[in-house]
Amino acid sequence: MSYRTRVKICGITRLEDALDAVRLGADALGFVFYPPSPRYVAPEKAAEIIARLPPFVTTTGLFVDADAQQVRDVLATAPLGLLQFHGDESPEYCAGFRQPWIKALRMQPGLDVAAKIRDYRDAAGILLDAWHPQLKGGTGETFDWRHWPKHSGLSLILAGGLTPENVAEAIHLTQPYAVDVSGGVELGKGLKDFTLMQAFMAGVNAA
């Protein structure tokens, strides 16, 4: 039996993009709370967007090696359903906020993916993203999908360079629980495009 692949659209900065994404069928929206990112959104702005969302949409906050107090401050402002840690956070750190969380792993050469997944076995899911020597996510690059782990025991989320043109192939090769897209549905950093999101969802549904 095949199951529907879930979709998260990350890097939301505008209400209209959030509502369009949900109308098109996105299961989750990502808000980047990493100030160096061009997709950074202030917690107050994220809270305004989240307040306008319909039910059954998972709101995800992305952090990169943030001070624990920063995470708590964001949680006090923006009601998030899921935390996503995209840096070098330890399993103990990730579990310290009493919130469901996922951990991003960057698929750099030589990474023992199975061992890393075991380290973060208490996560709600593991997101596998392309590795870049400077950037921690949002690279616009893919990784070799042939290295996708099998039988991990956790929900695996595919990210990195996904577009309307390649997402169906990516799903076919990896069979992920979910896919995560940002730049592949943008006209500019943090500015989503309805037509690209629509095409991306069509690609997911065609897989």
pTM confidence score: 0.94
Round the average pLDDT of the chain to a whole number and report it. 93
Residues with catalytic roles: 10, 129
Q: Classify residue 1: in a domain, yes or no.
A: no
Three-state SS for 28? strand
pLDDT tens-digit readout, 139-183 = 667 888 888 888 778 999 999 999 999 999 999 999 999 999 999
pLDDT value for 134? 56
Q: At CB < 8 A and 24+ separation, what contacts does 140-146 make?
A: 140/183, 140/184, 142/166, 142/170, 143/107, 144/107, 145/170, 145/173, 145/174, 146/173
pLDDT value for 109? 78
CATH number of the domain enclosing 14: 3.20.20.70
Q: Classify residue 117: in a domain, yes or no.
A: yes
Report d(CA 14, CA 35) in Å as an integer. Answer: 16
- Structurally, the chain folds into a number of domains equal to 1
Domain holding 191, by residue range, is 6-206
User: Quick check: 131 pLDDT over 70?
Assistant: no
pLDDT value for 118? 94
User: Quick check: 124 pLDDT over 90?
Assistant: yes
Q: Classify residue 76: in a domain, yes or no.
A: yes
What percent of the chain clears pLDDT 90, i.e. is strictly above it? 82
Residue matched to tokens 């199951």: 3
Q: Classify residue 187: in a domain, yes or no.
A: yes
Q: Classify residue 60: in a domain, yes or no.
A: yes
Q: Classify residue 22: in a domain, yes or no.
A: yes
